[in-house]
Amino acid sequence: MASHIPDILRKHNSAILTDWLAEQARSFSRDTRARDDTPALSARFLGELADATAKGNVDDVDGEDFREIRALLEDLSRQRGLAGISPRDTAMFVFSLKKPLFARLRQELSGDALVDEMWSATTLLDRLGLLTTEAFQRTREQIIERQQQDMLELSTPVVKLWRGILALPMIGTLDSGRTQIVMESLLQKIAETEADVAILDITGVPTVDTLVAQHLLKTVAAARLMGADCIISGVRPQIAQTMVHLAIDMGDVTTKASLADAFAHALKRQGLTVVRAVKS
Amino acid sequence: MNVLSDDSLEIRRDADVVACRQAVRARSVEQGFGLVDQTKIVTAASEIARNTLQYGGGGTVRIQKLADGSKQGLRLVFEDRGPGIADIARAMTDGFTTGSGLGKGLSGTKRLVNEFDLWSKPGEGTRITITRWK
Ligand SMILES: Nc1ncnc2c1ncn2[C@@H]1O[C@H](COP(=O)(O)OP(=O)(O)O)[C@@H](O)[C@H]1O
Ligand SMILES: [Mg+2]
């Protein structure tokens, strides 16, 4: 049996829309201001909902018939998520349609038909409401990912410690996209400053696994091609031990426990010593 | 032996590998692991989580806090439904990789933990269970 929902949505379109907009305004929490695009979006949603349900599968929100609706809700969730609107308020966009729609179902139907359609409508709107929450979640994850990316680019300074001596304090996780950026900024700075020693400091890298080790080895090899020798500092005892278990061979690269040790080593290699100034 | 806690995490993206390491670190601290034991189990977790993502096409990890008499431990079970490992003995060899890694993740992990179990079947997937006792 075909659902009555599409017919009722179409017949009472403008009344439902008016009631729904009033309902939305009421249900939003105080800090969510009314949005200019709400009336147009709501009207479009009602139209699409009538079209989708008219195709027969009232409960198959994951199916082809509901593609437009899903796209609309995805867009809405993304935009509202970016605007800082809570997932609760975004989901209320869908849930607040229940009351006006149920009122019209009650007006048009009775008996078993009413019970059946109320059930279909509830299930349908619940599922669509959930879609907004899922979409919100995805948007949030994308934002976090982008912020992490931004942070990575900011947190890879190459500092000049002395003439010919560079230091690269690495902080955080060293896998994936990060390393490429680290390596490029180091190589560029080596070229600019004609440095002959680069200290890669991993004090701020919590875990050195085989992937991180491989990245370090690649960086060392590239720096060497540019004429700079690398020292790896910040190799804490527990990291050194773990690297032995992983059978990681750092070749002839000098490693030091601290950045200070590495700096002292670099100065010495350049024939420089640090002496206390004599008080006169 | 008692299982004190049992968490499950998805490994679908790079960020999940980081989350896995952080969760393992937190659980190992709760178990009273010292810095060396923490570092070993976290590094092992990092290796296997990355393999799960890279070769297994993603999967899950279960993190269990264990107590056996006065001993405390951490068990990690990584599972994926990827292509599986055809030649396990070869995969366990230092330096063997079908990707572009160092090929020391599996063999190294075995040396970082107290118990290591690898189940894999071509076409079905891979399950690696590792345990470190305090
Ligand atoms: N979960 C997995 N599913 C399928 N193959 C795997 C999995 N884990 C490891 N392998 C195989 O074992 C090889 C060795 O792994 P590993 O020792 O970690 O070295 P790497 O990651 O550097 O290749 C991999 O190159 C891959 O062929
Ligand atoms: Mg690996």
Q: DSSP for A124-155?
A: HHHHHHHHHHHHHHHHHHHHHHHHHHHHHHHT
Sequence-distant (≥ 6) Cβ neighbours of residue A97 within 8 angstroms: A16, A20, A23, A125
The pLDDT of A188-192, averaged and rounded, is: 92
Q: Which CATH number fits domain A159-269: 3.30.750.24, 3.30.420.40, 3.40.50.300, 1.10.287.610?
A: 3.30.750.24
Tell me how crowded residue B10 is: count the other CB atoms within 10 A of its CB.
12
> What is the rounded distance in angstroms from the CA atom of residue B133 to the CA atom of residue A169?
33
Predicted confidence at residue A78, as pLDDT, reads 85
Asked whether B122 lines ligand 1 (CB < 6 A), one says no
Q: What is the mean pLDDT of residues A129-140?
A: 87
Does the Cβ of B105 fall within 6 Å of ligand 1?
yes
**When comparing pLDDT for A30 and A47, which is higher?**
A47
Topology, domain A5-148: Globin-like (1.10.490)
* pLDDT over 70, % of chain A: 92
Does residue A1 have a pLDDT over 60? Answer: no
Q: What pLDDT, on the 0 to 100 scale, is given for residue A200?
A: 94
| C-alpha pair distances (Å), A142 with each of A78, A113, A117, A136, A145 | 10, 44, 38, 10, 5
The distance in angstroms from the start CA to the end CA of chain A is 104
**Interface subset of B 94-133, CB within 8 angstroms of A:** 94, 101-102, 104-105, 107-108, 111-112
pLDDT of A60 over the 90 cut = no
Question: Could you tell me where the beta strands, DSSP code E, fall in A4-157?
Answer: none
Q: What is the pLDDT of residue A149?
A: 64
How far apart, in whole angstroms, are the C-alpha atoms of residue A180 and residue A62?
A: 40
pLDDT at B27 (0 to 100): 96
The whole-angstrom separation of Cα B67 and Cα B64 is: 10
- Chain B residues within 8 A of A207 when measuring between CB atoms: 21, 39, 42-43, 46
Q: Mean pLDDT throughout A50-61?
A: 86
Of B36, B104, B105, the CB nearest to A241: B36
List A230's β-bridge partners, or say none: A198
Report which of A200, A197, A160 is spatially closest to residue A271, judged by C-alpha positions. Answer: A197
State how far residue B77 is from chain A, nearest Cα, in angstroms.
19
Of the listed ranges A116-130, A137-151, A181-195, the one predicted with least confidence: A137-151
Q: Does A206 touch chain B (CB under 8 A)?
A: yes
Residue nearest to ligand 1 atom 19, measured at CA: B103
Q: What is the mean pLDDT of residues A128-147?
A: 84
Q: Tell me the average pLDDT across A123-129.
A: 93
Query: What is the spatial distance between Cα A91 and Cα A94, in angstroms, rounded to a whole number?
Result: 6
Q: What's A278's DSSP letter?
A: P
pLDDT, chain A, mean: 88
- For chain A, what are the domain ranges? 5-148, 159-269
**Token pair for residue A195?**
């440095």
Return the closest-CA partner of residue A179 out of A198, A152, A143: A152
Identify the CA nearest to A222 among candidates A264, A193, A180: A180
CATH for B2-133 is 3.30.565.10
Provide the pLDDT confidence category of residue A255 given band limits of 50, 70 and 90.
Answer: very high
Contacts of A242-246 spanning 24+ positions with Cβ under 8 A: A242/A208, A242/B39, A242/B40, A242/B43, A242/B112, A243/A208, A243/A213, A245/B40, A245/B108, A245/B111, A245/B112, A246/A209, A246/A210, A246/A213, A246/B43, A246/B47, A246/B104, A246/B105, A246/B108, A246/B111, A246/B112
The token pair that represents A76 in the structure block:
């809405």
Measure the CA angle with vertex B96, ends B93 and B101; round to 5°: 130
Q: A142 or B37: which carries more pLDDT confidence?
A: B37
Taking only the tens place, the pLDDT of each residue in B44-93 is 999 999 999 999 999 999 999 999 998 999 999 999 999 999 999 999 99
* Sequence-ordered list of residues with C-beta below 8 angstroms from that of A244, at least 6 positions apart, any chain: none
Supply the pLDDT for residue A34. Answer: 60
Contact of B1 with B11, CB cutoff 8 Å: no
- Does the pLDDT value for residue A31 go beyond 60? no
What is residue B61's three-state secondary structure? strand
In this predicted structure, what is the pLDDT of residue A32?
59
More confident residue, A44 or A157: A44
pLDDT on residue A81: 81
In this structure, of B6-20, B78-92, B109-123, the range with the lowest mean pLDDT score is B6-20
Contact criterion met (CB < 8 Å) for A175 and B50 = yes
Three-state DSSP at A182 gives helix
